[in-house]
């Protein structure tokens, strides 16, 4: 077969038929492999999935492309529930000095690279705005579908306040800031409403200290209960939910009891936290790879040494937390949380998860479980009729070769919304016009 890289347009008058593949489906939490499977795509959606060959196109003038995949494995496009596509530097304080035009230009590279790694839907947990998400949606920028939070809400001196101790200027709320500072119920409520007005798919709050913020400790509790309740109320009124950056058990329990639906990181959670996650049917989004890479590459990536020191035992504690949550059947989603030049290690999260979870569990976390969190069940993270045609064709069965997911060359083809955005060693065997 010829080796090529292609971009193919798709619309309502064209179909793509992927034949002779091993399809890995994950409907209702059950992972199954369907051999000799056929997938028929029309426009942006999957029209048919099954063992029998679908009928040829019947629309007059419909363009039909048939690809025999030769037994390759087909899985849904990956989802990442915790990215920062505008974090083009690992030094978030200095990044505020960059002009938004430069940040946007660099973010386009981050987005395209994510798509080429097989991520077709991502949830941005702070920084991305409506304009960047819209640019991807309309095709001006190549990248995954973005469910953006806008600017994450932070108290003064919290994880979203990037001022150094000697700075007294007003905290920035510029478009490239990953966070916005707000204090008191009225300010917090207004900030949540403002982010929702600007199209935020969900609201993000900083409920504990963090690594990349210069003046707080990981153990800090942030925002009052009244402030958090106000954000949750505003999100619920708008038909969405709140996700919370939280490291410690106290922070995790506190926000879950106040109505937060998604816990970001959760490295120091305990059994009580896990029980509460189960009771509330909430979600945990570990982000293990970022701690691994900060230890290895943080200094070279421009992260200040005092922030690198905060990582200390976060990877080992995060692995313990993941094991505990997985054992108890918590809803676990895939997340990476990488910054600057470390974005390229996004796929390494699969290897870290695989030290704790089964291949089925890891794959589910990056597909169907994220779909549940995103409230997009039946649309992403699944190979099913009516779902978006976000599809990866891979050489190896990830259920028996999980580490193959860490290798981008293992991905033969990437299809996003019916458009082939990457194609290696694959050529059309038959292209016909409709009857």
pLDDT of residue 432: 40
Domains of the chain: 14-77+380-433 (2.30.40.10), 78-346 (3.20.20.140)
- What's the pLDDT band for 30 if we cut at 50, 70, 90? confident
Strands 331-332 and 283-285, how do they pair? parallel
Q: What is the mean pLDDT of the chain?
A: 90
Spatial contact of 37 and 21, defined as CB atoms under 8 Å apart: yes
Q: For residue 7, is pLDDT > 50? A: no
Query: What CA–CA distances, in Å, run from 260 to 201, 277, 281?
Result: 15, 10, 11
Give pLDDT tens digits for 347-401.
999 999 999 999 999 999 999 999 999 999 999 999 999 999 999 999 999 999 9
* Residue 308 β-bridge partners: none
Helix ranges restricted to H, 98-138:
100-116, 130-138
pLDDT of residue 96: 82
Give pLDDT tens digits for 282-291.
999 999 999 9
Buried b (16+ CB within 10 A) or exposed e, 20-32: ebbbbbbeeeebe
Give pLDDT tens digits for 169-202.
665 544 457 899 999 999 999 999 999 999 999 9
Instruction: Determine the Cα–Cα distance for residues 252 and 12; give it in Å rounded to an integer.
Output: 46
Q: What average pLDDT does the segment 209-227 reach?
A: 92
Give pLDDT tens digits for 52-96.
888 776 665 678 889 999 999 999 999 999 999 999 999 888 888
- 3-class DSSP state of 202: coil
pLDDT of residue 58: 67
Instruction: Determine the Cα–Cα distance for residues 272 and 324; give it in Å rounded to an integer.
Output: 11
pLDDT of residue 57: 66
* Residue 50 β-bridge partners: 38
Instruction: Determine the Cα–Cα distance for residues 298 and 115; give it in Å rounded to an integer.
Output: 24
């Amino acid at each position: 077969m010829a080796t090529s890289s292609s971009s193919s347009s798709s619309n309502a008058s064209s179909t793509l038929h992927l034949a002779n593949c091993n399809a890995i489906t994950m409907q209702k939490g059950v992972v199954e492999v369907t051999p000799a499977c056929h997938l028929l795509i029309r426009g942006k959606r999957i029209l048919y999935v099954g063992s029998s060959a679908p009928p040829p196109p019947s629309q007059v003038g419909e363009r039909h492309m048939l690809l025999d995949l030769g037994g390759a494995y087909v899985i849904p496009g990956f989802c990442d529930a915790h990215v920062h596509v505008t974090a083009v530097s690992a030094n978030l304080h200095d990044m505020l000095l960059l002009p938004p035009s430069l940040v946007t230009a660099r973010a386009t590279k981050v987005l395209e690279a994510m798509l080429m790694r097989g991520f077709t839907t991502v949830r941005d947990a702070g920084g991305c705005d409506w304009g960047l998400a819209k640019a991807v949606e309309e095709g001006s920028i190549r990248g995954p579908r973005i469910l953006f939070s806008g600017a994450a809400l932070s108290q003064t001196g919290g994880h979203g306040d990037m001022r150094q101790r000697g700075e007294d200027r007003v905290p920035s709320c510029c478009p490239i800031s990953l966070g916005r500072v707000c204090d008191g119920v009225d300010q917090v409520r207004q900030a949540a409403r403002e982010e929702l007005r600007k199209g935020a798919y969900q609201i993000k709050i900083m409920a504990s200290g963090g690594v990349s913020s210069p003046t707080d400790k990981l153990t800090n509790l942030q925002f009052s209960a009244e402030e958090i309740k106000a954000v949750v109320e505003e999100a619920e009124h708008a038909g969405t939910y709140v996700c919370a950056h939280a490291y410690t058990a106290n922070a995790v329990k506190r926000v879950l009891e106040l109505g937060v639906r998604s816990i970001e990181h959760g490295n120091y959670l305990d059994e009580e936290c896990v029980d509460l996650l189960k009771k509330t049917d909430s979600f945990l989004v570990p982000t293990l790879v970022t701690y691994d890479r900060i230890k290895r590459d943080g200094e070279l990536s421009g992260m200040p040494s005092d922030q690198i020191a905060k990582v200390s035992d976060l990877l080992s504690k995060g692995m313990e937390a993941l094991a505990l949550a997985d054992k108890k059947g918590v809803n676990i989603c895939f997340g990476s949380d990488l910054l600057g030049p470390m974005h390229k290690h996004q796929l390494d999260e699969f290897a870290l998860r695989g030290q704790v979870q089964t291949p089925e569990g890891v794959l589910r976390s990056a597909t169907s479980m994220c779909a549940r969190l995103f409230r997009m069940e039946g649309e992403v993270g699944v190979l099913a009729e009516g779902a978006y045609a976000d599809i990866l064709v891979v050489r190896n069965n990830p259920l028996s070769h999980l580490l193959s997911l860490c290798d981008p060359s293992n991905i033969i083809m990437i299809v996003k919304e019916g458009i082939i955005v990457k194609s290696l060693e694959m050529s059309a065997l038959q292209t016909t016009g409709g009857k």
